[in-house]
Homo-oligomer: A and B are copies of this chain.
Amino acid sequence: MRDLRHLPPEEARMRIRERKHTTPTTGISIDYAQANLVVLNKEAAYDFLLFCTRNPKPCPLLDVTEAGSPVPMLTAPGADLRTDIPKYNLYRHGKLIEQTEDITSYWQDDLVAFLLGCSFTFEKSLLENDIPVRQIELNRNVPMYKTNIPCRPAGRFSGPMVVSMRPIPSRQVAKAVTVTSRYPSVHGTPIHIGNPALIGITDLDKPDYGDAVPLYEGEVPVFWACGVTPQAVAAASEADFMITHAPGHMFITDVKDQQLSLF
């Protein structure tokens, strides 16, 4: 099998467009930032843009397309957001109504696509610092949980923050904080460290999205704000129409992770 970890992003996107790759994108083109997708009508876009600026940890904006254009000019000018993601979720009135591998037939002239930073970006830095990333070791999707932390509302959008969890050996937790502090545009430092119950998570073995992973002896669960948050928000806010990526099935940009690092 070809090593997907060092595939140039345009080749990775072409494989996805041609449906040669239809699974989660963890571990593909690992030097490049992956992004969460949210597509809304122009009419709802102002509220969402405001929601993102008020909630930068779960919703760090990397790119926003012109209304009607599926091309992310800042982060991947050769891409097409209608075909270059392995799997999409379609919502109407807050309900997931369909999963699809291509949204071309749903595209309209008044749609605006938002790309949001993804925690995959800092995972390479964690690995380079010898901090384990459990779901990569196990070839699973990262576990994600709804919390009891409310996002700051904006217009029609409100709802709880979603977090991703990684088990970190206790002696390496401080290092995991400083490593991720370099990446404020991809969720930055953890939202919570330690007791899941304090943020409303009752059972780590039952994530709301993604796959559960084991917590080994001496490890602490560390929680980062997650770009899946807009999906929870869509459900809570009953947005008329919204398209997102399916959890773990991200958009691969032309932006190197290092470009998103502060220093």
Contact = CB atoms under 8 A, between A and B. Distances in A.
Interface of A: 45-46, 49-50, 52-54, 61, 64, 74, 152, 178, 181, 184, 188, 262-263
A64 B50 contact: yes
A61 B49 CA distance: 12
B54 A74 contact: yes
A263 B181 contact: yes
Q: Rank and list the top 4 A-B pairs by shortest CB-CB distance, nearest first.
A: A46-B46, A49-B49, A53-B61, A181-B263
- Total copies of this chain within the assembly: 2
A181 B45 CA distance: 31
Contacts of A54: 64, 74
A263 B64 contact: no
A262 B178 CA distance: 10
A181 B262 contact: yes
Contacts of A52: 53
9 contacts: A46-B46, A49-B49, A49-B53, A53-B64, A54-B64, A74-B152, A178-B263, A181-B263, A262-B262
> Chain A's interface: helix, strand, loop or mixed, by majority?
helix
A50 B114 CA distance: 11
Contacts of A181: 262-263
Contacts of A178: 263
Nearest to A63: B54
A155 to B, nearest CB: 9
A58 to B, nearest CB: 15
A52 B262 CA distance: 19
Nearest to A42: B46
B49 A50 contact: yes
A199 to B, nearest CB: 21
A49 B114 CA distance: 13
Nearest to A52: B53
A181 B50 CA distance: 25
Contacts of A49: 46, 49-50, 53
Contacts of A262: 181, 184, 188, 262
Contact of A45 (B46, B152, B188, B263): B46
